């Protein structure tokens, strides 16, 4: 029985791969972030048996070719050849896929992108990420970072107009002006502080916007302008049929509608239907994507 894992900074979710290709979640445990031996023990304890392969969705960058993970919020995995080390420690085959890629794959195969040629799944949450699936195939790209549109100093939040008062925010990757630094939930909070001098959570800000509060509305407007500008370049480049969204901000339908309208107004193609929509697997894309990847990789699983 293949066990699938969705490994995040706080929790390890696990589930059993079913014959129909879905993954039935079986539970979750706290992630032992600082302790490799405890991490290995937690994975072994959650697996259905002690020999079958396991498939992991990891909340961080992962390069297939080197087998090395880049996941700063789970220190015991960070910069470690985690694929090789886990296979050795567990004595079984291991598959690892980045969580944004897992989400995009799940959407393309069984979600909002089913039957569509180009699916660009995006994460809007504690960070900004994404994954690209073309004709059912996950595009990994050089270094395994295809679809990671959150980094690179491309945003100029000081461009004036409705953006007056914003700053160049530093990003965790070492640059400033990254999409991740401005368009994540934390980015929305930074924008609010710059514009209004008060600190609110992203939930409080969107709540204020829903209540037609002028400050909250100005923040969400600036946020949506910056996000749609960046996204429009991606839309023109990739030609996606759909952009399913996951992450903490994907639960706000009105926010996604706003981002969708602004993005479609900036792109070359005329989309008759909403393009930026909540993913079917917005809450469990990691597990479901790990399951799909496992069915494609491990031959003992009936396809
Ligand atoms: Zn960055």
Q: What is the per-residue pLDDT for 161?
A: 78
Q: What is the per-residue pLDDT for 301?
A: 58
Q: What is the per-residue pLDDT for 299?
A: 72
The residues, ordered by sequence, that sit 6+ positions from 259 with a Cβ below 8 Å of its Cβ are 224, 227, 228, 231, 276
Residue 72, CA distances (Å) to 28, 32, 43, 69, 75 in order: 21, 13, 19, 9, 6
How many Cα atoms occupy the beta-carbon half-sphere of 48 within 13 Å?
Answer: 18
CA of 44 to the centre of ligand 1 (A): 34
Q: What are phi and psi of 171, to 5 degrees?
A: -110, 155
Same fold, 3-101+284-297 and 115-278: yes
Nearest C-alpha neighbor of 28 from the set 13, 6, 7: 13
CA of 219 to the centre of ligand 1 (A): 21
How many Cα atoms occupy the beta-carbon half-sphere of 291 within 13 Å?
Answer: 26
Q: What is the per-residue pLDDT for 129?
A: 92
CA distance 82 to 144: 15
Q: What is the per-residue pLDDT for 302?
A: 47
- In order along its 303 residues, the chain shows pLDDT tens digits of 999 999 999 999 999 999 999 999 999 999 999 999 999 999 999 999 999 999 999 998 898 889 999 898 899 999 999 999 999 999 999 999 999 999 999 999 999 999 999 999 999 998 899 999 999 999 988 878 888 898 877 777 777 777 888 888 999 888 888 999 999 999 999 999 999 999 999 999 999 999 999 999 999 999 999 999 999 999 999 999 999 999 999 999 999 999 999 999 999 999 999 999 999 999 999 999 999 999 999 976 544
Overall fold of domain 115-278? Nucleotidyltransferase; domain 5 (3.30.420)
CATH code of the region 3-101+284-297: 3.30.420.40
CA of 38 to the centre of ligand 1 (A): 30
CA of 213 to the centre of ligand 1 (A): 31
Could you tell me what percentage of the chain is helix, strand and coil, using 3-state DSSP and rounding each to the nearest 5?
A: 40, 20, 40
In this structure, the number of other CB atoms found within 10 A of the CB of residue 29 comes to: 13
Q: What is the per-residue pLDDT for 184?
A: 95
CA distance 67 to 196: 44
Maximum Cα interatomic distance, the chain, rounded to a whole number of Å: 60
Label residue 1 exposed, middle or buried (CB < 10 Å: 0-12, 13-18, 19+): exposed
CA of 99 to the centre of ligand 1 (A): 18
Q: What is the per-residue pLDDT for 177?
A: 85
Extents of the domains making up the chain: 3-101+284-297, 115-278
CA of 34 to the centre of ligand 1 (A): 24
CA of 89 to the centre of ligand 1 (A): 33
Nearest C-alpha neighbor of 291 from the set 91, 40, 61, 15: 15
CA of 156 to the centre of ligand 1 (A): 13
Task: Say if strands 118-124 and 11-17 run parallel, antiparallel, or are unpaired.
Answer: unpaired
CA of 72 to the centre of ligand 1 (A): 13
Start-to-end CA span in the chain (Å): 14
């Amino acid at each position: 029985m293949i066990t699938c894992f969705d490994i995040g900074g706080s929790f390890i979710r696990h589930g059993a791969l079913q014959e129909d290709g879905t993954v039935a979640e079986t539970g979750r445990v706290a992630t032992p972030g600082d302790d490799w031996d405890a991490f290995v023990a937690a994975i072994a304890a959650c697996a259905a048996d002690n020999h079958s392969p396991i498939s992991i969705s990891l909340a961080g960058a992962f390069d297939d070719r080197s087998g090395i993970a880049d996941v700063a919020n789970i220190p015991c995995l960070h910069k470690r050849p985690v694929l090789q080390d886990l296979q050795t420690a567990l004595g079984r085959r291991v598959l690892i896929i980045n969580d944004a890629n897992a989400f995009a794959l799940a959407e393309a195969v069984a979600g909002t992108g089913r039957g569509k040629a180009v699916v660009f799944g995006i994460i809007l949450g504690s960070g900004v990420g994404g994954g690209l699936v073309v004709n059912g195939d996950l595009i990994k790209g050089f270094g395994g970072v295809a679809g990671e549109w959150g980094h690179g100093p491309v945003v100029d939040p000081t461009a004036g107009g409705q953006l007056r008062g914003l700053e160049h925010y530093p990003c965790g990757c070492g640059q400033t002006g990254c999409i991740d630094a401005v368009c994540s939930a934390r980015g929305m909070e930074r924008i609010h502080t710059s514009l209004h001098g008060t600190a609110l959570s992203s939930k409080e800000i969107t709540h204020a916007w829903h209540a037609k509060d002028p400050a909250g509305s100005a923040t969400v407007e600036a946020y949506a302008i910056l996000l749609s500008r960046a996204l429009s370049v991606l839309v023109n480049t990739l030609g996606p049929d759909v952009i399913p969204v996951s992450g903490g901000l994907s639960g706000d339908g009105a926010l996604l509608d706003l981002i969708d309208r602004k993005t479609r107004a900036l792109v070359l193609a005329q989309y008759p239907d909403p393009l930026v929509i909540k993913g079917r697997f917005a809450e469990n894309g990691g597990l479901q994507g790990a399951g799909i990847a496992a069915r494609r990789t491990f031959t003992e699983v009936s396809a």
